Structure 1
Amino acid sequence: MEKFNKALEVAKRISDEKARQKRQYSAYDWKRSCFHFLGLMDSVYSNERKCMKSPMPMLFITIAGRHFQNKNIDSAEYYINKANHLLLTKKNPLEGKANVLRAYGRLYIEKKDYKKSLHYLLNSLEITRKSGFRKRTLETYKLLATAYKCLYNIQKENEYLLKYTQLNDSLRENERIALNSSVEDILNSQQDHDTSASKNFYYGFAGIILVSAAIIIMLNNIYKARQKIQDNAINEKILESDMLRRKLDGLHQEVVQLAIKSDPSFIHKFREAYSEFYNNLTTENPGLTANDILFCAFIKLNFSNKEIAEYAHLSIRTVESKKYRLKKKLGISAEMDLNKWITQY
């Protein structure tokens, strides 16, 4: 926030009006995004109003997205139309056109006009692919999977889910590499600074340290270095264990949230989190359908019948019937509890 406020102060001194408005819009838009992450909606609305002086299509699309979350479809459509009108009246880059097309695609998914949704989404995808907008392409893949799911086209749904997963993994890997590079630069800089400081310290006191004192200090430093190596080794083991635990906990929570939201990428993320269970289940039971595997995943996550019914949009009675048929497919005896069998599998 401090940096963005400084950017606004600098922008005020730009003499060219269009250039000044462009820089001010950029700073206000980033501040709006930060306040949104912080959950400070009054500040979000305040910065949105400032952005309205020279808006971009993505501003209206962002507002439309908020209305989608609140199920205000008419309001969302109003802001998407404003974004489209702005796109037609101003010279905007290709990314702006792709964003508007993708927004219309989402709108028609909400309106249950899935074929019309595909028309807009595929046009948006063509632009983002050619222009290399990978994050925008990722968003479109997810919406395409949703549209094909609603059309009961399992083949196309899985095709775009796979593309979504592969691109998402690639983007995450790039972010990880970039982050590690930044951290490495900081550590190297700090190491150089520490080395320089240590040299200055020893040079300053070298003339006044007696030989006997130097020997004592040297022995003490050797002891500390060995102790530090041991401590570092222990700390690294603890850190690795803690990071692994956090990663597993975080991945489990992510899978649960995807299931609750009926997210199309749920089963792919579940396969990543419980790869051993998934591979054993599908290898030993090749006759299982995608729906059967989905139910096994819900049970593995310890969801109750009521929760499964809610997340799968079924009645509790239907869930019980599906579990009964699933036991037969898996060859589980009538006395054995399906939940216990899957949990221990």
Structure 2
Amino acid sequence: MQAQNNYERLIDSANNHVGGNALKALQFLDSIPNPLEKSIEGNVADYYSIKALIHDELNQRAEVYKNNLLALKYAKIEKNYQVAGDTSLELFANIYIVYEDTTAYSYLEQAKKYYELSGYKNGNLEVELIEAYAHFLDGKIDECNGLLLRKLDVYKNTKDDAYFYMFALYMLTSNYVYLDNLEEANKYYENFKSLENNSTIDSYNYSSFDANINLSYAELFYKKKQIDSTLFYLSQAEINRKSMADDALETYFIISSKVYSLSGKIDKSKTYLDSLRIFQEDMFKNVIDVSYHINSPLLKEESLQKNEDFLDIFGILLICLISIISFAYFMYYKEQRQKLSHLSNQTENLTYLKSNNEKLAVKVQGLEDYISQLKQKVKAIATIDDVVLQREKIKDFYKELHLSSTTLLEESKNHLELVNNFDMDFFKKIKKLHPKLNDSEIIICYYVSVGFKNKEIAVFLNTSIRAIESKRYRITKKMGLNKQEITLVDYLTQTFKDPN
């Protein structure tokens, strides 16, 4: 009997470490010898319930399922209705919220029944909150807020367990952030933060919710392109990074990578991209292994209770479900890898542009000087009266043009690609004023603005005069100049002429 009591104390020790040191808690439980029915008789349901919480903290979804199923099984045997109600809610959360299987609602009904049998006075609050949470994750904000606001005072006045109030405030804050109603969101967030040191709240739960709230703020401000605010809320979320669930951690990596890329901090952006890639690979491996991790332990436990067929039936159904989810996640993973590859390429391109910005700025000045020189030479050739001499000069000009252009422009860079990467004032302004113009039309406008004629532009762009004329006609139509009785040259001169 003394040995049995010692083993029961191991359960208490494990429970004390949940939310703080999951691995230590697991060591306490693993120290209890099999068969559990003899070592901790009457407490097996508590054992598996705590073990499910530990694996939830470690983000090991397969083990969470298995241990909740076993906890419910032994709770029925031991008539431990409190644990039966708690694990029924956990199974609802795992099956419906994670996999969107509506059959999970049967567990909500079970939870109500077991809480009534146990005499747990807050049982209905537990069920109502998890139902609101299902709406929360489904994006049904009106339904979620309706359930929460109707009972918010009840949650607030449940002094013996402030978790209900904290959970409700977390959902309300996140909902109003999503709706971009920051006044309401900030009000509920302040109430949420007032619970940080409440002795009835598990610090791990508070930290996890707080990280999610800050991520929701970060997402909102990133969509608004408000970099400083985004970085602030990401830094607040970072404080509780160890408490983030998988989906929150993935969101954290994605937003961090994007906002640092947007702010030009390419090295930091790449760091978060690498972290995201490693995280998703680990998640994928975990999902692929789920069937094994569920099937093997379930069959082992079933051999201890041959007269019970619960785990066998549900185990088979669950394995089928996990197999389907594994395939779905595999397809999702492939899609995410493609997106990551695309984002990585964009980041690399941005790195290249940034590192070569000064060189490109020099190039554009050289290009402008080059254009000016060509213009003067073309005009000089045009003034020669001697036809023979003029033809010779034109031939020399073509040779010089060919050699000079290959020296001026980098390999694989044409005029359009080079100039458009400079972000010159001309190109910024014309794109803003005339977004319908394509890139080739914009570059022609640039050449026209510096004084080139159609023939000169055709020579420089290696195309026909007719093609330039056709493009200029389309440009005037897109700009609406044909309705304003003003030429393209005059319009460009008036609009883009340097005031100095």
TM-score (norm 2): 0.35
Task: Tell me which structure has the larger Cα radius of gyration.
Answer: 2
TM-score by length of 1: 0.48
